[in-house]
Chains A and B, each alone.
Chain A
Amino acid sequence: MKGLLIKDLLVLKRYGRTLGFLVLFYGVFSMLGNSTAALVSMITVVLAMTVVTSFAYDEQARWDRYVCALPVKREQVVAAKYLLGLLLVGAGLLISLLLGVLGTLLRPQAEGREILLPAMLGNFIIVLLLLALTLPLIYRFGVKKSRILFLVAMALIGGAVAASASILSDGTALEFLQQGRWNVLLLIAPVAALLAYALSYRVSCRIYAKKEL
């Protein structure tokens, strides 16, 4: 499995320059615009979606056919992709943390630095859920069709976030928060997102096991 992960990282290396440029662009942009939260979310989302790009490269090289010849189980092929997803999400969070801290140091009077950590946490959850939805779709329908389905997934998650926001603005939730239960939520949400990711892995394994290569 290590070899498969190395393969993805080597292949994505050529994509690295584009990514670096994007990070730089968003970095400068957000520092000018005082928008730490936007910076965090953009960088994390862009990096996480690089997983999709790696699938596109796989299709281009007809890698699936070759994988059949390698001494790896199909579930290991899937596991390598999910691990890549976690690595990229981690890298995205790390980069945005660094940029966020840098931004605070450069412009201590800027607004929004107190929301850096919550924004990162929120993004970790959203991006993980996005991947958990997208990866099984890619295994089932391929990259091209999944791009459209991905947009639908984005809209659904956006809707869910908006819906939960409106629920939170209602009395009970406010009460819940006022009672200082934030910490509980902070703890539960990421764990739930990770569980969803693990569940998504199982689903992808099932799809891939039946796939004709």
Chain B
Amino acid sequence: MENILEVTGLCRSLGDFSLQDVSFSLPRGTIMGLVGENGAGKTTIIRLILGGLAPDRGEIRLLGEDPRRAPAQVKERLGVVTDECCFYESLRPRDVACILRPLYSHWDDGLFGKYLRQFSLPENKTVKEFSKGMKMKLSIAAALSHHPELLILDEATSGLDPIVRDEILDIFLEFIQDETRGVLLSSHIVSDLEKTADYITFLHHGQVKFSEEKDLLLERYGVLRCGVQELEALNPSDRAAARETRFGASLLVPDREKAAQKYPGFVIDRARIEDIMLYMVKGEKQ
């Protein structure tokens, strides 16, 4: 399937921080979760994708175009929500429509109004009077109301309560029903991504640890539990990462079934996405 977004070998340094050789691609009709701790480089990647920053090396194809050279019209097909609400405190939702209407040729007042009602956002209150969740909903309503093809969300669900988060995630799932669209969702809340994402790209210290189909990850990876002594006996190539606790050791195995055949006596559980990430990060430290 054609990719709506492609990032290849992206490098960029910013002060102490650097993105190194970041690659991933987002096929149409899917949601990609970009996950990583604060400061892992998620926002930097999004700034690069939007053309705000120039890469040192590497290539980005945003809807088939280089974002630094593409005509401004490409952005008409893009909806973006940043981690902070960029609408000024004195504006009201109807002002937001006044600003965006002339900017987008496909701006849809009816749709915007529908989202405002769905999110229970009062049209005549100022952004200042909104709660954090309401501000985020306003940003999302604004990002969706010109019928974009690609939705890019930077930490759009963090800082929101679970009910609002769930409501918002459902909107993304509804958005993706149209198979020509795509969503890039950055977050440090793994459970949100586990719920919605089709692909997961895990970023750690500016590097991609893995970028894979979520179901494949869940199907393949496992957590094997054993005693500390037994850990030594296992073949190092079978373990992606290990953790020792007071009660024994546990390790992440990249192929659950293979590990089960090889080490029949051990308990091997399914790994959650969070497990995979934690083991990989902790394993690296050891």
Binding site for B on A (CB under 8 A): 2-4, 6-7, 10-11, 13-14, 57, 60-66, 68-73, 76, 212-213
Contact = CB atoms under 8 A, between A and B. Distances in A.
A213 B73 contact: no
B265 interface: no
A65 B86 contact: yes
A56 to B, nearest CB: 11
A142 to B, nearest CB: 16
A95 to B, nearest CB: 22
Contacts of B79: 69
A6 B102 contact: yes
B253 to A, nearest CB: 41
Contact of B86 (A61, A73, A212): A61
B198 to A, nearest CB: 23
B72 A69 contact: no
B219 to A, nearest CB: 35
Interface string B72-101: 111110111010111111110001001111
Interface in B30-60: 47, 50-54
Contact of A69 (B54, B78, B98, B99): B78
A71 B73 contact: yes
6 contacts: A6-B99, A7-B88, A10-B91, A10-B95, A68-B80, A69-B80
Given A3-B99, A3-B102, A11-B90, A70 B75 contact: yes
A19 to B, nearest CB: 14
Contacts of B102: 2-3, 6
Contacts of B80: 66, 68-69
B103 interface: yes
A132 B50 CA distance: 29
Contacts of A62: 82, 84, 86
Interface of B: 47, 50-54, 72-76, 78-80, 82, 84-91, 95, 98-104, 152
Contacts of B88: 7, 11, 57, 60-61, 63
Nearest to A2: B102
A137 B103 CA distance: 27
Nearest to A65: B82
Given A61-B86, A61-B87, A61-B88, A72 B103 contact: yes
Nearest to A7: B99
B47 A71 contact: no
B134 to A, nearest CB: 16
A212 to B, nearest CB: 5
A6 B103 CA distance: 10
B43 to A, nearest CB: 9
A136 to B, nearest CB: 20
Nearest to A69: B80
Contacts of B86: 61-63, 65-66
Contacts of B82: 62, 65-66, 69
B259 to A, nearest CB: 45
A51 B52 CA distance: 23
Contacts of A6: 98-99, 102
A187 B74 CA distance: 44
Contact of B72 (A4, A64, A66, A73): A73
Given A6-B98, A60-B88, A68 B73 contact: no
Contacts of B90: 10-11, 13-14
B100 A212 contact: no
Given A3-B101, A69-B78, A212 B72 contact: no
A65 B52 contact: yes
What are the 6 tightest A-B residue pairs by CB atom distance, in nearest-first order? A69-B80, A213-B52, A66-B86, A3-B103, A71-B75, A68-B52
Contacts of B95: 10
